[in-house]
A and B are shown apart, each in its own frame.
Chain A
Amino acid sequence: MAKTVEGLYYSESHEWVKVEGDVAVIGITDYAQHSMGDLSYVDMPEVDDELAAGDEFGAVESVKAASDLYSPVSGTVIEVNEELEDAPELLNEDAFANWIIKVKMTDQSELEGLMDAAAYEAMCAEA
């Protein structure tokens, strides 16, 4: 059973968001890393890239699969997790402890459209 963390927001495309002031810290869920298998690469945007909610901002790749990443919120990328460049397996080890990008949000109300842990778990259970 894939784990979830309370207090985070979740998207239908399996990203999580942790809010720190006006910054959204974004990663992929344990469910996502589990269904991908051993990750081999994380494709990340560049700092200063502008994202609208729903925009593709990168991808995670395993040996036999690739899955695009979608930003749950709009804003500007202020940091990418460079550790993942050489160690994508960190996401397999702990998907919630390892974020992918940080976005300075332009519209915090977008968070309301996301799920909480319980709703996300229910969605995954249905799949």
Chain B
Amino acid sequence: MKYYDKLIFDLSKEGRQGFSLPVRNWSAGLDEIPAVLRREDAPALPQVSELDVVRHYTNLSQMNFGVDSGFYPLGSCTMKYNPKINEEIASHPGFACLHPLQPAVTVQGALKVYSELARSLSEITGMAEFTLNPFAGAHGELTGLMIIRQYHISRGDLKRTRIIVPDSAHGTNPASAAVCGLEIVQVKSKENGLVDVEDLKPLLDDTIAGIMMTNPNTLGLFEKDIKEIAALVHQCGGLLYYDGANMNPLIGKVRPGDMGFDVLHLNLHKSFSTPHGGGGPGSGPVGVAPHLVKHLPYPRVVELEDGTLDVVNEKGESCGRISGFMGNFGVILRAYTYILMLGKQNVRMVGPLAVLGANYIKESLKDCFKLPIDSVCKHEFVFDGLADQSTGVTTLDVAKRLLDYGFHAPTIYFPLLFHQAIMIEPTETESKETLDGFIEIMKHIAKEAAEDPESMKTAPHTTPVRRLDETTAARQPILKYKDII
């Protein structure tokens, strides 16, 4: 990677242009708009040539690390390979040209993609039906919780406004619950990292709307007591929400619906191979058990008697509308492409191979790094820093040093249960050679930490920029070009 210091604004020169538009000689002009409604000054956007733009963004891209650049073992993010055929299909002009308000008869192909992906996800997860409208995992969570609340409200069970969230949950769980108007009740984890059923029992009463579970949880451990938990929560009248951020190890092996979950969201950008795009667009489909289908958000795709597909645009008993149109359709296309490539044969191997890789790294490194819970993990696991912590080298230092060796850093300082958490998730698309290379470097780093801790504490040394002054950035925010000049 090479450092490049320009902003596009730095390249701007009055009178340059990067666009090519047809000439239209209309008689009506913008000066007809009443003066009070017009903008007087032109916006100070850059004025650059087409090559300026291409070269600038190419240079920017070369300061970025993606899955295609190298191993990206970011825990809880499932950075698997993003197949290129997905991209080709997503930009197919036969889909890209469709306006979202076109009549259903003119978009039957698009609606088939929507409904076939929804059906495939139902099959993989054991749920009755899906909405693909949510735009991201957090948005899916919020939608799922809305469905849960709508369910209780529709039954006149208005007291149920509290939701149980384990202390190991992703930060979005409590945040989504709060946005949905639910009060959060925390349940503790036991020493072995699993939800404490005994701690849960006294929390269950007629004010509980449900419980949000991540299974495997954020430590990468399977919640063995899930069926007992499901029975307890259902007994008290609550519903079970499954946070599908960690669905990857279960694909082809275990279906959340069979564990007793009533609602779940998936992250198509994690388990179903669509690219993360530097933070989006993602997609967070929500699946529900049969008794909740009527509460799915609208618009909904439905099949008519003659086999054609239609879009239902009415609130009815649904939880409401949660998206302008029907989700990130381009992402839906990618995920469905992936499922067609996998087929029923290969879908079986996704979870097992992901779990194989995680356990392989864990077993290979547990002498050099502190493994707080030593048991079989699923797709990811958590170290609590270096085994030898006498050197003062922290998890942050390890993460930064990895960048020097051409690996992306794992997720660090999450989950909050351990002070020096390093969360590693390799995914099923990485070869043994790649994992061996990573293991070797991690061992080397552990050795470096003992021999030359100072150089660890100032890592990275080879990246385009090095450690940043985040405190000044937060104290005196510079958030746009005009704040610089």
B475 within 8 A of A: yes
Instruction: Please measure, in the bound complex, the distance between the C-alpha atom of A89 and the C-alpha atom of B474, giving whole angstroms.
Output: 12
**Interface flags, B441-481, vs A, CB<8A=1, else 0:** 00000000000000000000000000000110111000000
Instruction: Please measure, in the bound complex, the distance between the C-alpha atom of A64 and the C-alpha atom of B473, giving whole angstroms.
Output: 12
Q: Please give me the 9 A-B residue pairs with the lowest Cβ-Cβ distance, nearest first.
A: A40-B474, A38-B471, A63-B470, A40-B475, A63-B474, A63-B471, A40-B471, A88-B475, A41-B474
A-B contact count (CB 8 A): 16
Name B470's closest neighbour in chain A (CB-CB). A63
**Interface flags, B405-426, vs A, CB<8A=1, else 0:** 0000000010000000000000
Name B471's closest neighbour in chain A (CB-CB). A38
Describe B's contact surface by its main secondary structure.
helix
Instruction: Please measure, in the bound complex, the distance between the C-alpha atom of A88 and the C-alpha atom of B474, giving whole angstroms.
Output: 11
Name A88's closest neighbour in chain B (CB-CB). B475
16 residue pairs bridging A and B, Cβ less than 8 Å apart? A38-B471, A40-B471, A40-B474, A40-B475, A41-B474, A41-B475, A61-B474, A62-B471, A62-B474, A63-B470, A63-B471, A63-B473, A63-B474, A64-B413, A88-B475, A89-B475
Instruction: Please measure, in the bound complex, the distance between the C-alpha atom of A41 and the C-alpha atom of B473, giving whole angstroms.
Output: 11
**Interface flags, A40-51, vs B, CB<8A=1, else 0:** 110000000000
Instruction: Please measure, in the bound complex, the distance between the C-alpha atom of A40 and the C-alpha atom of B472, giving whole angstroms.
Output: 8
Apart from A41-B475, A61-B474, A63-B474, list 10 A-B contacts with CB within 8 A.
A38-B471, A40-B471, A40-B475, A41-B474, A62-B471, A62-B474, A63-B470, A63-B473, A64-B413, A89-B475
Interface positions of B (Cβ within 8 A of A):
413, 470-471, 473-475
Interface residues of A in 18-48 (CB under 8 A from B): 38, 40-41
CB distance from B413 to the nearest CB of A (A): 8
Residues of A within 8 A of B475 (CB): 40-41, 88-89
Residues of A within 8 A of B473 (CB): 63
CB distance from A41 to the nearest CB of B (A): 7
Instruction: Please measure, in the bound complex, the distance between the C-alpha atom of A88 and the C-alpha atom of B475, giving whole angstroms.
Output: 8
CB distance from A86 to the nearest CB of B (A): 9
Interface positions of A (Cβ within 8 A of B):
38, 40-41, 61-64, 88-89
Instruction: Please measure, in the bound complex, the distance between the C-alpha atom of A38 and the C-alpha atom of B470, giving whole angstroms.
Output: 10
Instruction: Please measure, in the bound complex, the distance between the C-alpha atom of A40 and the C-alpha atom of B470, giving whole angstroms.
Output: 10
Instruction: Please measure, in the bound complex, the distance between the C-alpha atom of A63 and the C-alpha atom of B353, giving whole angstroms.
Output: 38
Indicate the member of A40, A62, A64, A88 with the most B CB atoms within 10 Å: A40
Residues of B within 8 A of A64 (CB): 413
Residues of A within 8 A of B413 (CB): 64
Residues of A within 8 A of B470 (CB): 63
Indicate the member of B470, B471, B473 with the most A CB atoms within 10 Å: B471
Instruction: Please measure, in the bound complex, the distance between the C-alpha atom of A16 and the C-alpha atom of B471, giving whole angstroms.
Output: 25
CB distance from B399 to the nearest CB of A (A): 14
Name B413's closest neighbour in chain A (CB-CB). A64
Instruction: Please measure, in the bound complex, the distance between the C-alpha atom of A61 and the C-alpha atom of B473, giving whole angstroms.
Output: 13
CB distance from B177 to the nearest CB of A (A): 18
Instruction: Please measure, in the bound complex, the distance between the C-alpha atom of A98 and the C-alpha atom of B473, giving whole angstroms.
Output: 23
Instruction: Please measure, in the bound complex, the distance between the C-alpha atom of A63 and the C-alpha atom of B470, giving whole angstroms.
Output: 7
CB distance from B233 to the nearest CB of A (A): 30
Indicate the member of B470, B473, B474 with the most A CB atoms within 10 Å: B474
Instruction: Please measure, in the bound complex, the distance between the C-alpha atom of A61 and the C-alpha atom of B475, giving whole angstroms.
Output: 10
Residues of B within 8 A of A61 (CB): 474
Instruction: Please measure, in the bound complex, the distance between the C-alpha atom of A5 and the C-alpha atom of B275, giving whole angstroms.
Output: 55
Instruction: Please measure, in the bound complex, the distance between the C-alpha atom of A38 and the C-alpha atom of B333, giving whole angstroms.
Output: 45
CB distance from B418 to the nearest CB of A (A): 16
Instruction: Please measure, in the bound complex, the distance between the C-alpha atom of A9 and the C-alpha atom of B470, giving whole angstroms.
Output: 34
Instruction: Please measure, in the bound complex, the distance between the C-alpha atom of A88 and the C-alpha atom of B413, giving whole angstroms.
Output: 25
Name A63's closest neighbour in chain B (CB-CB). B470
Residues of B within 8 A of A89 (CB): 475
Instruction: Please measure, in the bound complex, the distance between the C-alpha atom of A64 and the C-alpha atom of B470, giving whole angstroms.
Output: 9
Instruction: Please measure, in the bound complex, the distance between the C-alpha atom of A41 and the C-alpha atom of B471, giving whole angstroms.
Output: 10
Instruction: Please measure, in the bound complex, the distance between the C-alpha atom of A61 and the C-alpha atom of B413, giving whole angstroms.
Output: 18
CB distance from B347 to the nearest CB of A (A): 39
Residues of A within 8 A of B471 (CB): 38, 40, 62-63
Instruction: Please measure, in the bound complex, the distance between the C-alpha atom of A40 and the C-alpha atom of B473, giving whole angstroms.
Output: 9
Instruction: Please measure, in the bound complex, the distance between the C-alpha atom of A14 and the C-alpha atom of B216, giving whole angstroms.
Output: 37
Residues of B within 8 A of A38 (CB): 471
Residues of B within 8 A of A41 (CB): 474-475
Instruction: Please measure, in the bound complex, the distance between the C-alpha atom of A18 and the C-alpha atom of B67, giving whole angstroms.
Output: 56
Instruction: Please measure, in the bound complex, the distance between the C-alpha atom of A83 and the C-alpha atom of B27, giving whole angstroms.
Output: 58
Instruction: Please measure, in the bound complex, the distance between the C-alpha atom of A74 and the C-alpha atom of B412, giving whole angstroms.
Output: 41
Name A40's closest neighbour in chain B (CB-CB). B474
Instruction: Please measure, in the bound complex, the distance between the C-alpha atom of A63 and the C-alpha atom of B476, giving whole angstroms.
Output: 12
CB distance from A97 to the nearest CB of B (A): 19
Residues of B within 8 A of A40 (CB): 471, 474-475
CB distance from A33 to the nearest CB of B (A): 14
Instruction: Please measure, in the bound complex, the distance between the C-alpha atom of A64 and the C-alpha atom of B413, giving whole angstroms.
Output: 11
Name A89's closest neighbour in chain B (CB-CB). B475
Instruction: Please measure, in the bound complex, the distance between the C-alpha atom of A38 and the C-alpha atom of B475, giving whole angstroms.
Output: 10
Name A38's closest neighbour in chain B (CB-CB). B471
Instruction: Please measure, in the bound complex, the distance between the C-alpha atom of A64 and the C-alpha atom of B171, giving whole angstroms.
Output: 13
Residues of B within 8 A of A62 (CB): 471, 474
Residues of A within 8 A of B474 (CB): 40-41, 61-63
Instruction: Please measure, in the bound complex, the distance between the C-alpha atom of A71 and the C-alpha atom of B470, giving whole angstroms.
Output: 30
Instruction: Please measure, in the bound complex, the distance between the C-alpha atom of A41 and the C-alpha atom of B477, giving whole angstroms.
Output: 11
Name B472's closest neighbour in chain A (CB-CB). A40
Name A37's closest neighbour in chain B (CB-CB). B471
Instruction: Please measure, in the bound complex, the distance between the C-alpha atom of A62 and the C-alpha atom of B473, giving whole angstroms.
Output: 11
Name B474's closest neighbour in chain A (CB-CB). A40
